[in-house]
C-alpha cells in the first residue's frame, strides 16, 4: 500500500512466502465476530481497532472475503432480530423512543464495523458488486426491524396518529418525530415515499376532507377562508420540523385540493357572505384572503373574476338604466366615478393589482357605460359643472386627478364623437359667458383629449381658445381707435370663426339704441381691419351687466342675457308694458321672449319684473311692470344664468341626427383610404377595417358602412367585381 496522509497506520506485505494455518480463517473470523458482538453490546472500549482492521485485511488478502462478508450479514442479522424483539415489546410512547434509540445505536455500531472492514469494503465488495457495508447495514435494519410484521404497521399508525394529534391541537415530541421520519429517509427515498409519505398524504386528504365539510357547514365564507389559510401555514411548518423538504409541495397540494379547490363554487356563491357580499361591503381582508387562496388552485381566480364581472355588469346596468338615477347628469357621472374608485381600491388592496382583474373592470365599465345613450352628454355636463364651479379652491394635482378620471370614462365611450359634439357646445357656453374657473384646466383637458384621440379631435376646440385670444386683442384695438367710447356702455365682443364653434341659428332682435350704435362702430372697425370677412351677430348667445335702482333706491347689478337686457331697457322709458308691446319693440321670437320674461317675472329671488295677472306661464295678454319691491342680499344678481342642462328629447334627437350626418364623410374617407391602399377587398373585410379605423371616435354601424359603399360606387370611387358581387375594386 502507498503512504497516504489520511491513514493512521500502514501494513506491509509479507516479504517471504508464508504458509497459512488451515484454521486461520475460522480463528480470525471468530475474533472479528466477537468484536461485532461487543460493539452491539456497547463494550467496544476494550477493542483494538488497529488489530481488528489487520485481521479483516488479512482475511481479504488470503481470499476469505466471502467468508468475512457472509459472517457479517449473519452476525448483524442476529443482533437486529434481537433488537426487533425488544422494540416489539415496548409499550405506548416507549415504542418510538426505543426504536429511535436502537436506530442510533445501530448507526454507531455500523460506523465502527465499516471502519474495521474498510479494506473489504473497498476491494472485495467493489470487485464482487456486493452491497457496501453501510448500505448493507441500512438494508438489514429495514428488512429485520422496520419491515417486521409486528412493527411496520404499528410504526406507521403511531406516526400518523401523532400527526393527527398535532393537527387537532395536541403538543407532540417533534424532535422524536423528526428522528424517526429521518430514519425512513436514510433508508432510501423509496422507503420514505412508499412506507410513510404516501399513507401520510392519504390520511391528510381524508382529514382535510372531513374538516372542510365541517367548516363549510358551520362557517360563513370569510370564516371558512381563515380556517383554510391556517393549515397551509401549519403543513409547511410541519415539513420544516420533521418531514422531507420534497413533501412540502405534495402536502400543500392536498390541503389546496381538499380545503379550497373542492369548494370554490360554493364559497364564491355563498349566500350573504360570498364574493358579492364582500364586494358590496368592502371586505378587503376577506377578498384578499380569497384571492391569495384561490390563486393556488386551477381556475380559482377565473371564478372570482367571472363572479366580480357579472356582479359589476348587473350593478352598472341598474345604475345607468334607472330613470331616477339619470335625472341629474352630474350625480349620474359621479356615481360612475365612485364605483370605479371603489373597484380600483378593491383590485389594489385585495386582488394584488391583478391585470386580468383590471381588464375585467374596464370591459365591464365599457359595457354598461354605453348602455345609456346619454352617457357622452352626461360626461360632458359633468366636466361643465366642474369647470364652472366644482374646481374652485381645488389644488392643481387634484384638478388633474379629476380630469384623469373624466378621461378614464371617456375612453369607455364607443361614441366619442357624440361627446365631442356636446363638449363643444358646453365649452362654447363656458367661454362666452366667462364662467370657466380655470383656463389651465380647460387646456389641460384638451391636451388629454388630443393625446387620446389625435389632433383632428381637438383642432376645433383649440380654435375656440384661439378665437377668444384674438377677440381680446381685437377689442383692445377697437377701443384704442375710439377713445371717445371710454364713457358710456362698454361693449365686449367675441369674434367666433364659424367652423370652430357649434352652429346655432342666428336670432335677430332690436338692440337698445346705445348698444346698437356701439355694435355698428365695432362692425366698421373690424371690417376695416380685416378684408374678406363678414360679421353676423349672435345676440342669443350674449350677456349683459345692467345697473338698476329699485323702489326706495336699492341698487343692484343684474347679470342678464342679451334678450333680457333688451326687455329691461324698455322700462327706462315706460312704467308698464304689455307682452305685445315688448314683442313688437324687441322682435325677439315668441318662444325665446316667453322664456326670457318667465325668468325675470316668475322665478323667486330673480323677479325684477312683476306680471299682471300673476301666474307661472306667460300669456300674450299679460302686462309687465318693474318690481319696486325686488330685494336681494347680494349687490350682483344673476338672472337666467346660462348653465348647460341635459337636452330635452327633441334636442337629443336633433343632436343625434347631426352626429349621424357628421359620421357619413368620416366613414367614406376611411373606406377610400382603405381601398386606395388595398385596391381590391371583400365586403366583410371593408366592414372590419373601417370599424377598426374609426373605433377611436365611434362604433361604425355596418348598415351605414354599406350605405356609404353604395354612395361611393354611385360616384365612381369604387366598383363591384363582375363575378363576385361581394368584392369591391378601387377606381383611381
pLDDT in tens, 241-253: 999 999 999 999 9
Nearest to 582 by CA among 611, 632, 641, 623: 623
Residues 672 and 617 in one domain: no
Task: Spell out the SS3 assignment of 296-333.
Answer: CCCCHHHHHHHHHHHHHHHHHHHHHHCHHHHCCHHHHH
**Residue 153 clears pLDDT 70, i.e. is over it:** yes
Residues 156 and 276 in one domain: yes
What percentage of residues in the chain have a pLDDT greater than 70?
95
Whole-prediction pTM: 0.78
- DSSP one-letter string for 121-145: HHTHHHHHTPPPHHHHHHHHHIIII
310 assigned to some structural domain: no
Q: How far apart are the first and last CA of the chain?
A: 100
Coil, helix or strand at residue 545: strand
658 lies in the same domain as 586: no
Instruction: Report residue 648's pLDDT band, with 50, 70 and 90 as the boundaries.
Output: low
Last residue of a domain, one of 224, 249, 281: 281
Residue 16 has pLDDT above 60, yes or no: no
Mean predicted confidence (pLDDT) in 530-544: 85
Mean pLDDT of the chain, nearest integer: 90
Domain span at residue 598?
543-638
Q: Is residue 524 part of a domain?
A: no
Reported confidence tier of residue 381, pLDDT bands at 50, 70, 90 = very high
b vs e for 579-614, b when ≥16 Cβ sit within 10 Å of the residue's Cβ?
Answer: beebbebbebeeebbbbbbebbbbeeebbbbbbeee
Q: Are residues 223 and 264 in the same domain?
A: yes
Inside any domain, residue 207: yes
Same domain, 673 and 623: no
61 and 173 together in one domain: no
Give the count of domains, the chain: 4
Place of cell 483494538: 48
Using the 3D structure, point to which of 281, 316, 344 is the last residue of a domain.
Answer: 281
pLDDT score of 14 more than 80: no
Express each pLDDT in 692-704 by its tens digit.
888 877 888 898 8
Q: What pLDDT is stored for residue 2 in this prediction?
A: 42
pLDDT value, residue 5: 46
Residues 158 and 270 in one domain: yes
Q: Looking at the domain assignment, is residue 537 inside a domain?
A: no
Both 564 and 680 in a single domain?
no
Residues 6+ apart with CB under 8 A from 167: 207, 231, 234
Task: Convert the pLDDT of each residue in 430-469 to its tens digit.
Answer: 888 887 878 888 899 999 989 888 888 888 889 988 988 9
Residue 612 lies in a domain: yes
159 and 127 belong to one structural domain: no
Claim to verify: residue 616 and residue 708 sit in the same structural domain: no
Helix axes 247-255, 221-242, angle to 10 degrees: 160
Residue whose C-alpha is closest to residue 183's, from 81, 99, 251: 99
**Residue 291 maps to a domain:** no
Which CATH number do you get for residue 204?
A: 1.20.1310.10
Within a domain: residue 474?
no
For residue range 576-635, what is the model confidence (pLDDT) as tens digits? 999 999 999 999 998 889 989 988 888 888 889 999 988 888 889 999 999 998 888 889
Query: Is 6 part of any domain?
Result: no
**Strand (E) or helix (H) holding 728:** strand 727-730
Spatial distance between the Cα atoms of 602 and 68, rounded to a whole number of angstroms: 124
pLDDT at 236 over 50: yes
Kindly report, residue by residue over 285-311, the tens digit of the pLDDT.
Answer: 999 999 999 999 999 999 999 999 999
Separation of alpha carbons 405 and 419, rounded Å:
15
Average pLDDT over residues 515-532: 90
Same domain, 161 and 263: yes
Last residue of one domain, picked from the residues 262, 281, 300: 281
In the numeric block, the cell 488451515 is attached to 22
Q: Answer with the residue of higher pLDDT: 136 or 550.
A: 136
Cα–Cα dist 732/730, whole Å? 6
Instruction: Say which CATH number the domain at 708 has.
Output: 1.10.10.10
Which residue, among 550, 533, 548, 544, has the nearest Cα to 495 in the 3D structure? Answer: 533
Q: Let me know whether 709 and 632 are in one domain.
A: no
Amino acid at each position: 500500500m502507498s503512504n497516504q496522509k489520511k491513514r493512521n497506520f500502514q501494513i506491509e506485505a509479507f516479504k517471504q512466502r508464508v504458509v497459512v494455518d488451515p484454521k486461520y480463517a475460522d480463528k480470525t473470523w471468530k475474533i472479528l465476530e466477537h468484536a461485532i458482538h461487543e460493539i452491539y453490546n456497547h463494550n467496544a472500549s476494550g477493542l483494538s481497532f488497529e488489530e481488528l482492521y489487520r485481521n479483516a485485511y488479512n482475511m481479504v488478502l488470503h481470499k476469505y472475503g466471502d467468508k468475512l462478508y457472509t459472517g457479517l450479514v449473519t452476525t448483524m442479522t442476529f443482533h437486529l432480530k434481537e433488537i426487533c424483539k425488544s422494540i416489539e415489546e415496548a409499550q405506548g410512547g416507549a415504542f418510538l423512543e426505543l426504536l429511535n434509540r436502537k436506530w442510533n445505536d445501530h448507526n454507531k455500531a455500523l460506523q465502527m464495523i465499516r471502519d474495521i472492514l474498510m479494506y473489504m469494503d473497498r476491494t472485495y465488495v467493489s470487485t464482487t458488486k456486493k452491497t457496501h457495508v453501510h448500505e448493507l447495514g441500512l438494508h438489514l435494519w429495514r428488512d429485520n426491524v422496520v419491515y417486521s410484521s409486528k412493527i411496520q404497521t404499528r410504526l406507521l399508525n403511531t406516526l400518523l396518529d401523532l400527526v393527527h394529534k398535532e393537527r387537532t391541537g395536541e403538543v407532540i415530541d417533534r424532535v422524536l418525530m423528526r428522528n424517526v421520519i429521518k430514519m425512513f429517509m436514510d433508508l432510501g427515498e423509496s422507503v420514505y415515499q412508499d412506507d410513510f409519505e404516501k399513507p401520510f398524504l392519504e390520511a391528510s386528504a381524508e382529514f382535510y376532507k372531513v374538516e372542510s365539510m365541517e367548516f363549510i357547514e358551520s362557517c360563513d365564507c370569510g370564516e371558512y377562508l381563515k380556517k383554510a389559510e391556517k393549515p397551509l401555514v401549519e403543513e409547511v411548518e410541519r415539513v420544516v420540523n420533521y418531514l422531507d423538504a420534497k413533501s412540502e409541495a405534495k402536502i400543500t397540494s392536498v390541503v389546496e385540493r381538499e380545503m379550497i379547490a373542492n369548494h370554490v363554487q360554493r364559497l364564491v356563491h355563498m349566500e350573504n357572505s360570498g364574493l358579492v357580499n364582500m364586494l358590496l361591503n368592502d371586505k378587503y381582508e376577506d377578498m384578499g384572503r380569497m384571492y391569495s387562496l384561490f390563486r393556488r388552485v386551477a381556475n380559482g381566480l377565473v371564478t372570482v373574476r367571472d363572479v366580480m364581472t357579472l356582479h359589476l355588469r348587473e350593478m352598472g346596468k341598474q345604475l345607468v338604466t334607472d330613470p331616477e338615477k339619470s335625472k341629474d347628469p352630474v350625480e349620474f357621472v359621479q356615481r360612475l366615478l365612485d364605483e370605479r374608485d371603489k373597484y380600483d381600491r378593491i383590485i389594489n388592496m385585495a386582488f394584488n393589482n391583478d391585470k386580468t382583474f383590471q381588464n375585467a373592470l374596464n370591459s365591464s365599465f365599457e359595457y354598461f357605460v354605453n348602455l345609456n345613450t346619454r352617457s357622452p352628454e352626461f360626461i360632458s355636463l359633468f366636466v361643465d359643472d366642474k369647470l364652472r364651479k366644482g374646481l374652485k379652491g381645488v389644488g392643481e394635482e387634484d384638478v388633474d386627478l379629476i380630469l384623469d378620471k373624466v378621461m378614464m370614462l371617456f375612453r369607455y365611450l364607443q361614441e366619442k364623437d357624440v361627446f365631442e359634439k356636446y363638449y363643444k357646445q358646453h365649452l362654447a357656453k363656458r367661454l362666452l359667458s366667462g364662467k370657466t374657473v380655470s383656463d389651465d384646466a380647460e387646456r389641460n383637458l384638451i391636451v388629454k383629449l388630443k393625446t387620446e384621440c389625435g389632433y383632428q379631435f381637438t383642432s376645433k376646440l383649440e380654435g375656440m381658445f384661439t378665437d377668444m385670444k384674438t377677440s381680446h386683442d381685437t377689442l383692445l384695438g377697437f377701443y384704442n381707435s375710439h377713445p371717445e367710447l371710454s364713457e358710456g356702455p362698454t361693449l365686449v365682443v367675441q369674434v367666433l370663426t364659424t367652423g370652430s364653434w357649434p352652429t346655432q341659428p342666428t336670432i335677430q332682435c332690436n338692440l337698445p339704441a346705445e348698444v346698437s350704435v356701439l355694435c355698428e362702430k365695432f362692425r366698421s372697425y373690424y371690417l376695416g381691419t380685416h378684408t374678406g370677412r363678414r360679421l353676423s351677430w349672435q345676440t342669443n348667445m350674449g350677456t349683459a351687466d345692467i345697473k338698476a335702482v329699485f323702489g326706495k333706491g336699492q341698487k343692484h347689478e343684474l347679470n342678464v342675457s342679451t334678450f333680457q337686457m333688451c326687455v329691461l331697457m324698455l322700462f327706462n322709458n315706460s312704467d308698464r308694458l304689455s307682452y305685445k308691446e315688448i314683442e313688437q319693440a324687441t322682435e325677439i321670437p315668441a318662444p325665446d321672449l316667453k322664456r326670457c320674461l318667465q325668468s325675470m317675472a316668475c322665478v323667486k329671488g330673480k323677479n325684477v319684473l312683476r306680471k299682471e295677472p300673476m301666474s307661472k306661464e306667460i300669456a300674450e295678454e299679460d302686462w309687465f311692470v318693474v318690481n319696486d319691491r325686488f330685494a336681494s342680499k347680494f349687490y350682483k344678481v344673476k338672472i337666467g344664468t346660462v348653465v348647460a342642462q341635459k337636452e330635452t328629447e327633441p334636442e337629443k334627437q336633433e343632436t343625434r341626427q347631426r352626429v349621424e350626418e357628421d359620421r357619413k364623410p368620416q366613414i367614406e374617407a376611411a373606406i377610400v383610404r382603405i381601398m386606395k391602399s388595398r385596391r381590391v377587398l371583400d365586403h366583410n373585410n371593408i366592414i372590419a377595417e373601417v370599424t377598426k379605423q374609426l373605433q377611436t371616435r365611434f362604433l361604425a354601424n355596418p348598415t351605414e358602412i354599406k350605405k356609404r359603399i353604395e354612395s361611393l360606387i354611385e360616384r365612381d370611387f369604387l366598383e363591384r367585381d363582375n363575378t363576385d358581387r361581394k368584392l369591391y375594386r378601387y377606381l383611381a
